[in-house]
Structure 1
Amino acid sequence: MGQSHNSAFSTDDLPKTVARTFSQGSSPMSMDFHPRQQTLLLVGTNVGDIALWEVGSRERLFLRNFKVWDLGACSMPLQASLVKDPSVVVNRIIWNPDGSLFGVAYSRHIVQIYAYHGGDDVRQHLEIDAHVGGVNDLAFSHPNKQLCVVTCGDDKTIKVWDAATGAKQYTFEGHEAPVYSVCPHYKENIQFIFSTALDGKIKAWLYDNLGSRVDYDAPGHWCTTMAYSADGSRLFSCGTSKDGESYIVEWNESEGAVKRTYLGFRKRSAGVVQFDTTKNRFLAAGDEFVIKIWDMDNVNLLTTMDAEGGLPASPRIRFNKEGTLLAVSANDNAIKVLATTDGLRLLRTFENRSFDASRAASEAVSKPSINPISAAAAAAATSAGHADIGASVVSISGMQMTSQKFGNSLISDGAQCRTMRLPDSIRSSKISRLIYTNTGTAILGLASNAVHFLWKWQRNERNSSGKATANVPPTLWQPSSGILMTNDIADVNPEECVPCFALSKNDSYVISASGGKISLFNMMTFKFSSGADAQICVWNSDGWEKQKSRFLQIPAGRNPAALSDTRVQFRQDHMQFLVVHETQLAIYETTKLECLKQWVPRESSAPISHATLSCDSQLVYASFLDATVCIFGAANLRLRCRINPTAYLPANVSASIHPLVIAAHPQEPNQFALGLTDGGVHVFEPLESEGKWVDHLYKKWRRIQR
């Protein structure tokens, strides 16, 4: 903490303690706390990623890479721009006033609006091709009691859009340079918008088409942002000139003149300085590798905070609404969250609640032991499962919530989800490997007898997309010759080997092995293309050396098989990876090999047979040797949903029938497929009314918490 220049200043009024540090994976460019849930933080980055963090529990609830939702509906200039250079930056990410929506302004034409339904439930709402060039800023406003989105861009315009439909309401023209920022406000029942441009001009607009009402010059004459105090009574701006001179000033709105200029920018800034206001009392700016703080009523610098070091020259900053937390961008793509005494108390309270709820949810979903699945056993499992859930109690701030049957939290009946066994006219042995094609229109399986099976979905009236689905059965594709695509297993016992295969990016070829020669097949004809001896060669490369290694921590009392597999799979951001072992699921940090989260089945439960991440890295699908399937949140390994065998297997099936492998759809994050020991393949999707795998227990807990 830097020196204070005001003896009346209390350090408890400012967030100064580093309470959390997150690795975002790319450099944060814009951040915003939820207006009601004070520990929810939105982040947008320099590569177009957006993320939602729960600061209290340290969980990343949501991560989405930039993608145009409907490229065909976009303008030709945008399409041409993305083809020429696909890189995209998030210029602004911001919540609407009640936190039900958030908007993202990108450096390429596009604005995307998401709907937020609590927890990690984030849904696409609107995509607007808003400006020619970059969209430099975005804000929400309520003219005429109608929620609108205000944007500005490189095309020198400000535009107002209906937040419900995306229809354009107004276009404001008059700036002679790209518009850098917008600041909607209302005063004495008058709704207006301030805008700033890169030539230093500040203009104000009413919601009409009569042009700008004022024309000010901003100090610095370049990148300037404006913000009101929390009570809306005082207007401030912060700007940096092309020469690196930075200014924070307070404005006299009625006269259009600078009322107060704050001191403390001693050196030329290395970047554009960002600022924020809090508690109707403080101004803050990121500059000179620290956070500078001013009292609004005193032009002299009040204090500085270095957040324990590691800040960039011009860090991005954002207070939560109560001023108890302050998010600041740090080096190495990190985010630090500083807290006041009240903020620390809030985070500790949330940690306790999160622990209680997680423990109760874990106790509520204990899996049955391995035994034959008869009609009586199925009924008992269903009854016992619901009894467990019904008996669990979550303690929240002195309240007690006794959970009942929470819909998809436990699925014991096929009517509770969409599931389909794929046609299998050719009798096969157990399915050892399973993969979706990259287009998501087919599933390829490899049986333990070295035979491949390909199921293709056709485009028709019932399936207009032609994608894999549990609603429409596919065709088991076979060449007219009747020759099956079979690996060479001469002199090999395939039951003792580890099979493997991989698809080419265009789905034209599959390379495969079942312990013998490595085969390359043409996926169109099923013809064998080439073979090789079963060698795996490791070539030395200068500078390659083992950086770190770590043994898995086997839970006490567990005795895994001597040759049990350990599988790893990177998450989308490559900052973390999933580890799958029969005794556990775990999330590890990539560079340090630190175990961040671990989930261990109860001692009486069946071992894990396989697990995989969903295509968006938000879910983990896991199968077990008792034929149970569990769905976890990938951020915290919290169990969301359990699918009992009774939901997809006949009541009289042998106890030896269970999934050996699980595969995730490459484009639909809520679809997966199982390969079973009887040669069957099942595709699973949530009910269309749900749209996703939902943990109703957790959602109810979050609603009560809010």
Structure 2
Amino acid sequence: AAGPQGEHGFRSYSKECLPSQPACELPITSRPTALAFHPLIGTLLLAGSASGAISMWAVSQPEALCDIPCRSPRLSGAVAVTRVVWSSTGASFAVAFAAYQGIGCVHLYSPQGGDGQQGKLGLLSSRLEIAAHDGAVNDVALTSTEGTPVMVTCGEDTAVKVWNTQGALIHRFDGHSGPACCVCPHSRGAVSFVFSTAKDGRIKAWLFDNKGSRVDYKAPGAYCTWMAYSADGKRLFSCGVGATKGESTLVEWDDVDGDIRQVYADFHNSGGGAACFATAADQYLLACDDGLIKVWDMDRPGDVMGLLLETQLSDTPLLAINSSSTLAVVTTKADTMLVLASPVGMHQPGVMLEAACQRMPTFQVASELRTVSATSPPVEKARGADVVKPKLLKRSGFGREAPLV
């Protein structure tokens, strides 16, 4: 699937299998700091920003479907979003924030009347705020244990915490000696667990109990590591910061034995910030590095390929890929979001644009928050809501009637 050597010495991957064609740029009002595609609606993108606002985009349209400002008695409008994440059904999402006055908060948006099995958001009239950590919340994940939905967070206070959807603290995992930077929940059979990483260079694994970490691995690199499973949940990867002597820190793990299966060549993390990578089509790894997007076949770790773009990537770029691997979004030096599409994503029949937009949900967002602390019981939910309906445009953001689905 690889082509001839490019000018940077990297082979270019097949443009037929992955999103590689620049399609449009989405102009967000503040520097984007977090991205996540909806798990079922492949054109719906959730973005967090440095101002604390979040926005939702149909990536075939040049304007946001809705903008949700950061309105909270605990947060200043300038508190950056650190992470946005959807639930597996796409019925709810969570937003993590940097610290304000020493406290890091999480917002959980849940549906009222939405059908999570169909990936519909319904009416987002339930918005919960949790004062989750002392210092910034560095990561958040939505998962379930024993059939019960939970939220997992980690932060600068070194702790990993598990919450129910009413904001009650269920578990607190302590053991990292540095700020925790990533949580990666997973399940195998009936057993649910979560990996966590920290700036102490360690990887730990926890069951959803209070009996301490079950494993403790040294991560490649000497600082912070990001972990993620492939979309099919069968392969575990990590991407580290703080490599020495030019060693690559993009690796695949044996998540049973804790051994590194293979190391992917030529990942340098030259930007020096948080590592950013994504998996696509259960076959490829993509990472922003050296000012371009590098691509590896998961089974050919020594063979790096490159996607060269005319648009300059941001110094610490963000990268997100939709579940069908037909669309990708990467952040640029101009603080925009560049949409890349595969031929499948670019050339759908024009009639599908209307169908895709009709699937977009109507958003109803609570005008006030339910606020809880790490120790307080949940309070009565707020009344009142702002209703924002998505727009249906007859033409896409590419100047053609061609949707991205």
TM-score tier (shorter)? 0.7 to 0.9
| Counterpart residue number, 1:102 | 93
Residue pair 2:34, 2:48 contacting (<8 A) in 1 also: yes
CA distance in 2, matches of 1:21, 1:347: 22
| Counterpart residue number, 1:315 | 317
| Counterpart residue number, 2:59 | 55
The yes-or-no answer on 1:261 pairing with 2:263 is: yes
- Compute the displacement of 1:347 (Å): 8.1
Relative to structure 1, is the Cα distance of residues 314 and 349 closer, same or farther in structure 2, using a 3 angstrom cutoff?
A: farther
CA distance in 2, matches of 1:2, 1:200: 37
The yes-or-no answer on 1:227 pairing with 2:222 is: no
Equivalences for residues 603-682 of structure 1 within 5 A: none
Between the two structures, name the one with larger relative contact order (CA 8 Å, sep ≥ 6).
Answer: 2
CA distance in 1, matches of 2:17, 2:140: 30
What per-residue deviation string (whole Å, max 9, x for no partner) do you get for residues 420-462 of structure 1? xxxxxxxxxxxxxxxxxxxxxxxxxxxxxxxxxxxxxxxxxxx
CA distance in 2, matches of 1:322, 1:42: 16
- Compute the displacement of 1:10 (Å): 3.4
CA distance in 2, matches of 1:301, 1:309: 24
The yes-or-no answer on 1:115 pairing with 2:110 is: yes
- TM-score with structure 1 setting the length: 0.47
- Compute the displacement of 1:278 (Å): 1.4
Residue pair 2:152, 2:161 contacting (<8 A) in 1 also: yes
Relative to structure 1, is the Cα distance of residues 22 and 6 closer, same or farther in structure 2, using a 3 angstrom cutoff?
A: closer
CA distance in 2, matches of 1:107, 1:89: 6
- Compute the displacement of 1:270 (Å): 4.0
Which letter maps to 1:90? V
Which letter maps to 2:67? L
The yes-or-no answer on 1:91 pairing with 2:82 is: yes
Give the counterpart of 2:47 among 40, 43, 48: 43
Residue pair 1:246, 1:268 contacting (<8 A) in 2 also: no
Relative to structure 1, is the Cα distance of residues 269 and 297 closer, same or farther in structure 2, using a 3 angstrom cutoff?
A: same
Residue pair 1:56, 1:348 contacting (<8 A) in 2 also: no
Which letter maps to 1:265? F
The yes-or-no answer on 1:212 pairing with 2:213 is: yes
- Compute the displacement of 1:341 (Å): 1.4
CA distance in 2, matches of 1:341, 1:180: 36
CA distance in 2, matches of 1:307, 1:92: 25
CA distance in 2, matches of 1:120, 1:52: 14
CA distance in 2, matches of 1:138, 1:246: 26
CA distance in 1, matches of 2:251, 2:322: 22
Equivalences for residues 419-438 of structure 1 within 5 A: none
Equivalent position SS for 1:342: helix
Residue pair 2:269, 2:275 contacting (<8 A) in 1 also: no
Equivalent position SS for 2:209: coil
What per-residue deviation string (whole Å, max 9, x for no partner) do you get for residues 289-312 of structure 1? 211110001112432123332212
Relative to structure 1, is the Cα distance of residues 151 and 347 closer, same or farther in structure 2, using a 3 angstrom cutoff?
A: farther
| Counterpart residue number, 1:306 | 308
CA distance in 1, matches of 2:4, 2:66: 35
- TM-score with structure 2 setting the length: 0.79
- Compute the displacement of 1:148 (Å): 0.5
Which letter maps to 2:253? W
Identity of aligned residues (%): 37
Gap regions ≥5 residues in structure 1 = 72-78, 358-395, 397-464, 470-614, 620-632, 639-705
Structure 1 segments, 4+ long, off by >2 Å, are 1-11, 56-59, 115-125, 242-246, 265-273, 345-355, 633-638
Higher-strand-fraction structure? 2
| Counterpart residue number, 1:155 | 157
| Counterpart residue number, 1:133 | 135
- Compute the displacement of 1:266 (Å): 5.1
Equivalences for residues 165-180 of structure 1 within 5 A: 165-180=166-181
What per-residue deviation string (whole Å, max 9, x for no partner) do you get for residues 344-395 of structure 1? 134845435479x7xxxxxxxxxxxxxxxxxxxxxxxxxxxxxxxxxxxxxx
Relative to structure 1, is the Cα distance of residues 351 and 58 closer, same or farther in structure 2, using a 3 angstrom cutoff?
A: farther
Structure 1 residues 39-48 or 243-252, which shifts more? 243-252
What per-residue deviation string (whole Å, max 9, x for no partner) do you get for residues 208-247 of structure 1? 1100000001111212110111221111000111879752
Aligned residues: 356
Give the counterpart of 1:11 among 9, 15, 40: 15
What per-residue deviation string (whole Å, max 9, x for no partner) do you get for residues 147-198 of structure 1? 10000111111111112x1211111111111100000001132110000001
Relative to structure 1, is the Cα distance of residues 230 and 636 closer, same or farther in structure 2, using a 3 angstrom cutoff?
A: closer
CA distance in 1, matches of 2:59, 2:349: 8
Higher-helix-fraction structure? 1
Residue pair 1:290, 1:313 contacting (<8 A) in 2 also: no
Residue pair 2:91, 2:121 contacting (<8 A) in 1 also: no
| Counterpart residue number, 1:193 | 194
- Compute the displacement of 1:206 (Å): 0.3
- Compute the displacement of 1:253 (Å): 2.1
- Compute the displacement of 1:3 (Å): 3.9
Equivalent position SS for 2:146: helix
Residue pair 1:157, 1:179 contacting (<8 A) in 2 also: yes
Equivalent position SS for 1:107: strand
CA distance in 1, matches of 2:147, 2:78: 37
CA distance in 2, matches of 1:352, 1:192: 41
CA distance in 2, matches of 1:114, 1:156: 25
Residue pair 1:56, 1:350 contacting (<8 A) in 2 also: no
Residue pair 1:113, 1:127 contacting (<8 A) in 2 also: yes
Equivalences for residues 299-698 of structure 1 within 5 A: 299-346=301-348, 348-353=350-355
Residue pair 2:97, 2:137 contacting (<8 A) in 1 also: yes
Which letter maps to 2:83? R
Give the counterpart of 1:286 among 281, 288, 297: 288
Residue pair 2:281, 2:325 contacting (<8 A) in 1 also: yes
CA distance in 1, matches of 2:391, 2:50: 22
| Counterpart residue number, 2:24 | 20
What per-residue deviation string (whole Å, max 9, x for no partner) do you get for residues 490-541 of structure 1? xxxxxxxxxxxxxxxxxxxxxxxxxxxxxxxxxxxxxxxxxxxxxxxxxxxx
- Compute the displacement of 1:63 (Å): 0.6
Q: Which has the larger radius of gyration?
A: 1
- Compute the displacement of 1:321 (Å): 0.6
Residue pair 2:70, 2:77 contacting (<8 A) in 1 also: no
